A and B are shown apart, each in its own frame.
Chain A
Amino acid sequence: MRHGKYPFILSFLALPVGLYAWLVLVPFAQAFQISFTDWSGSTNQFDYIGFDNYLNLFKDERFVIPAIRNTGIILLVLPLVTIAMGLFFAFMLNIGGRSRQGRIEGVRGAQFHKIVFFFPQVLSLAIIGILWKQVYAPPGFGGLIAGGLEAIGLPAPDNGFLADKDLVLASVIGVLVWSAVGFYLVFFSSAMASIPRDFYEAGIIDGAGRFQLFFRITLPLLWESVQTAWIYLSIIALDVFVLIYMMTPERGGPDGRSEVVGGVIWKYAFKHGEQAFASALGVVLFFVALTLAVVALRIGRHQRIEY
């Protein structure tokens, strides 16, 4: 055993681990503790009330129930759409082009497209929120989409997309996809780049079309990347707080149609002065996220192919 190895390693780990424990783990643990109290958040007095907060969570039809429903929808739609689009674009940019002298290439201008698609990733989420709030505005008020639809004679929501109860959630998901797809395009691109070209060439010689190339070669070999993307996107889907806060009427409206769990936690903690109730919801969210990650990693276990 090399003398003094551990003190050396510890000296590097102590500070980051200590900070992590203090600033992340301890607050997590405290959220558990707080969720069993009636603490409002602005006093140093509280009583323990057992599981009452948890029981009341699922009776709250104004906030919690719609939030769970909406977060559920985002959780289903966001990863699916983003990954599908990311894979499609990555495939087109890397393999989808016409083959020149037997070489597999992407569509023309692939590099340029990559940069354009990646662009939203550079903007902070708050800026994206402000930007899209304007894009979604009513037609008479500079709303790009509604105004455009109206200009070409298609039906557009009179009050803009975000004030429309049926469109608001879809609009928010649209922004999420727009902002995320560029990153996953680059992510999948780099994963595709590691797939040997021979596989495709062999496939083409065997008479495979682009669909077959994609579903028989690309997708199976990218499975691990897809899985990782799924987990990341699910975590984004469980949050979404910033966009809701920046864009939607009354931060979750109109009439609760875009409430999400993250936003409701914030509302209870800071607007209604019910920290304990908010903590209970946070704890539930914590377990959902944990379960999701475990399930996603377990279900998709594939055999690794070495190449």
Chain B
Amino acid sequence: MRKPIPNPHFSRRGLLGTSAAGLAATSLAACATSGGDADTEDVEVGGDDENPFGVDGSAPLDVVIFDGGFGNEYAVKHQEMYNRLYPDAEISHLATQQIAETQQPRFAEGRPADVIDNSGAQEIPIDQLINDGELAELTPLLDAPSFDDPNVTVRDTLRAGSLEKGTFNGEVYALNYAFSAWTIWHDNKLFTDHGWEAPTTWDEMLELCPDIQAAGIAPWVYTGVHPVYLYDMFLMLAGRHGGVDVLKAIDNLEPDAWGHDSVGMAAEAMYKLWEDGYVLEGAPGLDHIQSQTAFNNREAAFIPVGSWLPNEQREIAPDDFEYAPIGVPYLEGSVQPGLISAGGEEPFIVPDKAANKPGAYEYLRLMLSQEGAQIFGDTVSAATVVEGVELDNLAAQLTDELVSNPDDLFQPQFRFWYSRMDEEVRPALGSLMSGESTPEEFLDRMQTVADETADDDSIEHFTHD
């Protein structure tokens, strides 16, 4: 027979254990559905040009940066700027790629960060944040005097087309900080060596294709695994032919918008690239690293990507590689051949329940100063939405020429306005370009989902004005 264990000691420990578990529980008790209701006041622009939002210099500032292609070094420098003005402000800086994973729970608790760079594959869907009323409107920031010149508002220091993407039904909810364009890239060195001229029209491009093939190079490559890289190419092809209204009609989910002749011709033209064998074999199975590596290796002549590509490839591309952009070669009879998908990218948002909203607005105002923009340009050699900051590389200068006419800047929005449209257009474009569906099937498919989205009463609808 075993002896009973004497246990006052153990029961005390047991008690401790239990209470420890209890404590752990309470501190974790910020469960999903039990957040508080902290309502903060709206920020207004005061009379003080130095401190238009009435920032409390001792209030801490909570900044979250997407640590992607641009890194986060620039943000650290922006924060140094902020601390120069407000030395007592304690800034917490989080650089992460997991924006949704780290920030969504904080929104759910009602204690979000002050400034969030809501970007990357793990971004929080902005349409939902707006539907939920979780974002602060940025008009006070845009109407405030700019950092460099109190007589000019922040809005007036921005390049044309900067705010479009962050504007939802006329209200600005995101400040897209980087200025980029979707272009077709080619290697200037390769083209000069072979005596090829970068095409401006689709027909010129088609004429050049056999020559490119004769040199043992595929004319086109694209990122088949993420067909979203085709989105702007396709839409600009259609928009250049029929004018920007064709694309606005698509964004506005108008009935039969996809049935427009220009849209049909664009689909036909893209499909024909596959039919004629002008696309690198295997492209539908390539991710962006593989397709861009193939491009760097000069296995293909053209690739559709955004203007961040040369920076991204700086360390990887051969030394003599000369990244040069062109607009999508336009179809014959195009009425707006200069149209280009360009504007702000990299959305910075201010949560409506942010604890230090004035500080957040001030931080964004500093980012939009000449010095702030120069920091970004120097650190990541990419343009910001701030006007008047020069970059000294070929790709940036050529891109600047492509986006010089403000009337030709347009970013198609339906992909950002409606998740459902986004989820449909990507596979649909993928199927079109890999020859799995015909242009007619593609157009039918998109029109169907556009109609369904338009009829869906459970979501908010957006329109271009």
Kindly specify which of B9-17, B55-63, B141-149, B407-415 makes contact with the partner chain.
Answer: B9-17
Which of B11, B28, B108, B294 is the one whose CB lies under 8 Å from A43?
A: B108
Docked CA distance A72–B431 (Å): 25
Closest to A137 in B: B285
Interfacial residues of chain A within 2-41, with CB under 8 A of chain B in the complex: 2-5, 7-8, 10-12, 14-15, 18-19, 22-23, 26-27, 30, 33-34, 37, 39-41
B109 in contact with A44 (CB, 8 Å): yes
> Closest residue to B35 on the A side, CB-wise?
A44
A138 and B4 contacting across the interface, CB-CB below 8 Å: no
Asked if B283 lies at the interface with its beta carbon under 8 angstroms from chain A, I say yes
Name the segment of B130-138, B151-159, B237-245, B330-338 touching the other chain: B130-138
Given contacts A3-B4, A7-B7, A163-B224, contact A272 B419 (CB under 8 A): yes
A274 partner residues in chain B, CB cutoff 8 A: 128
Inter-subunit contact B286/A138 (CB<8 Å): yes
CB-defined interface of A235-260 with B at 8 Å, one 1/0 digit per residue? 00000000000000110011110000
Contact of A44 among B17, B37, B227, B282 (CB under 8 A): B37
Q: A124 an interface residue at 8 Å Cβ cutoff?
A: no
Residues in A neighbouring B31, C-beta threshold 8 A: 26-27, 30
Quote the shortest CB–CB distance from B452 to chain A (angstroms).
10
**Residues of chain B within 8 A of A58, CB atoms compared:** none
Q: Give Cα A40–Cα B125 distance, bound, in whole angstroms.
A: 10
Chain B contributes a number of interface residues (CB within 8 A of A) equal to 65
CA of A10 to CA of B11, assembled, Å? 9
Q: Which residues of A contact B285 (CB under 8 A)?
A: 137-138, 141, 157-160, 162-164, 249
List residues of B (413-460) whose CB comes within 8 Å of A's CBs: 419-420, 423-424, 426-428, 430-431, 434, 436
- Evaluate whether A11 and B128 lie within 8 angstroms (CB atoms) in the complex, with A3-B4, A18-B22, A254-B427 already known: no
Please provide the chain B residues from 88 to 133 with a CB less than 8 Å away from any CB of chain A in the complex.
Answer: 100-101, 103-104, 107-110, 122, 124-125, 127-129, 131-133
B225 part of interface (Cβ distance < 8 Å): yes
B281, CB-defined interface residue at 8 Å: yes
Do A42 and B107 have beta carbons less than 8 Å apart?
yes
Evaluate whether A141 and B129 lie within 8 angstroms (CB atoms) in the complex, with A5-B4, A34-B32 already known.
no
Query: Judging by beta carbons under 8 Å apart, are B286 and A255 in contact?
Result: no
B190 → chain A closest CB, angstroms: 19
A259 to chain B, nearest CB (A): 11
Q: What are some 30 contacts across the A-B interface (CB < 8 A)? A: A4-B4, A7-B11, A7-B14, A11-B17, A14-B14, A14-B17, A15-B17, A15-B20, A18-B25, A30-B32, A37-B33, A39-B32, A42-B132, A43-B129, A44-B37, A44-B109, A45-B133, A141-B282, A159-B224, A159-B283, A163-B284, A164-B285, A249-B430, A253-B225, A254-B427, A254-B431, A255-B436, A272-B125, A272-B128, A274-B128
Question: Contact residues of A with B, CB < 8 Å?
Answer: 2-5, 7-8, 10-12, 14-15, 18-19, 22-23, 26-27, 30, 33-34, 37, 39-46, 62-63, 137-141, 157-160, 162-165, 249-250, 253-256, 270-275
- Chain B residues in contact with chain A, CB under 8 A? 4-7, 10-11, 13-15, 17-18, 20-22, 24-25, 28, 31-33, 35-37, 100-101, 103-104, 107-110, 122, 124-125, 127-129, 131-134, 224-227, 281-287, 290, 294, 419-420, 423-424, 426-428, 430-431, 434, 436
